Amino acid sequence: MFKFGFESYNIEMRKIYCVLSVFMVVAVVYSCHPDKKSIPYNPTPYTLQYPSFVDDAFGTPNLPADNQLTKEGVALGRKLFFEKMLSGDGSMSCARCHEPANAFDDTARFSHGITGALGSRNAMAIVNMPWATTFFWDGRSSTLEGQAHDPVSNPVEMNSKWTDVVNKLQSNGDYPALFYSAFGTSVIDSTLVTKAIAQFERTLVSFNSAYDKYAFLRTGTFTSRQANGYELFQIFKCTKCHTYGLFTDNTLRNNGLDLVPADSGLAKFTHMPGDYGKFKVPTLRNIAMTAPYMHDGRFKTLAEVVSFYSKSVRQGSPNLDSNMQSFTAAHAMSTQQQADIVAFLETLTDSTFLSNPEFRRL
């Protein structure tokens, strides 16, 4: 009887020890959980870096009140920008079509998705986003967060589902804590993912080209060809759309590529006849690094682009922008003038932007 009682006692004690052990493990896990109220959420404000002349020349950056820049948010967005888990098969990140060395653009005419399918438009460069007001070639998004959302679920791009992406990130050992540091919650959703990516993309600022040194800082010089191209750029009224400084006015226009545009552009979403064939005016900053050109990548070189504007604008194109009406064969540029304008456009390349280690994969 005594022996039996002793064994029963040991069994009961072991049960108690097991329960206590489980309780201690749960307590430790809970204490390490980033959502625990005792852990402070205290993100560090991120100060966007750009030259002092920018505010006066182009206006202050547009930083949305509901997604202010923080060091934690930018760092998370940078990691997500290069994160292949965002794609359906884990093979592609945002950087696949927006390569830092190419001014965050793709050198292919049409980018291919994870299935090998090709898109129908050339990828757009990512630069100076805090001053942008429309996104995508057709301007269908008014926010950078909205732009970051679409490629993940697009079947010809990353071909994934946001629910799958969120589940993968949530089960990852690193991301829940990183999201807590950036947004005060470890519960991940698509809104927070796109907010983080947008924060990183807003730091991709480029205002340190030879043009900036010449025109704003007065510390650089132009060659005679560059200076002549700079003057011709004004004479031929290129600045009507590619305004100095940002080199885009953020509008959507029909620049006369085709008499009958195959791509309806903005009209695809507005269904307005007056928007047929209109596309966003792209920035010319780092333009020498972002070939091919136009929404469909039809031109391989800047020389081809300038030649088109010199003598090939389709004056009968529907909704042709009024600024294009002077680009006729009667006002064609000489071969030398075209070459000089290309020389000027090459001064818009910012080598420090292209090589900035803060913009590369962690």
pLDDT at 26 over 70: no
pLDDT of residue 272: 97
Q: Which of 31-35, 140-144, 338-342 is predicted least confidently?
A: 31-35
Q: Residues 60, 193: one domain?
A: yes
| 193 part of a folded domain | yes
Q: Residues 320, 250: one domain?
A: yes
Q: Which residues have CB under 8 Å from 200's CB, separation 6+?
A: 74, 76, 77, 78, 80, 81
* Cα–Cα distance, 53 to 208 (Å, whole number): 11
Q: Which of 20-29, 123-132, 137-146, 261-270 is predicted least confidently?
A: 20-29
pLDDT at 141 over 90: yes
Question: Average pLDDT in the 201-208 region?
Answer: 98
Give the CATH number for residue 299.
1.10.760.10
pLDDT at 78 over 90: yes
pLDDT at 37 over 80: no
pLDDT at 28 over 80: no
Q: Residues 199, 57: one domain?
A: yes
Q: Residues 9, 67: one domain?
A: no
pLDDT of residue 125: 97
Mean pLDDT, the chain, whole residue set:
91
| 311 part of a folded domain | yes
pLDDT of residue 32: 45
Question: Average pLDDT in the 142-146 region?
Answer: 97
The residue segments making up the domain with residue 270 are 210-353
Cα dihedral 333, 335, 340, 341, rounded to 10, equals: 40
Question: Average pLDDT in the 300-318 region?
Answer: 97
Could you read off the pLDDT of 149-196 as tens digits, one per residue? 999 999 999 999 999 999 999 999 999 999 999 999 999 999 999 999
C-alpha triplet 307, 344, 130: angle, nearest 5°: 105
Helix (H) or strand (E) holding 170: helix 162-170
| 220 part of a folded domain | yes
pLDDT at 86 over 80: yes
Q: How many domains does the chain have?
A: 3
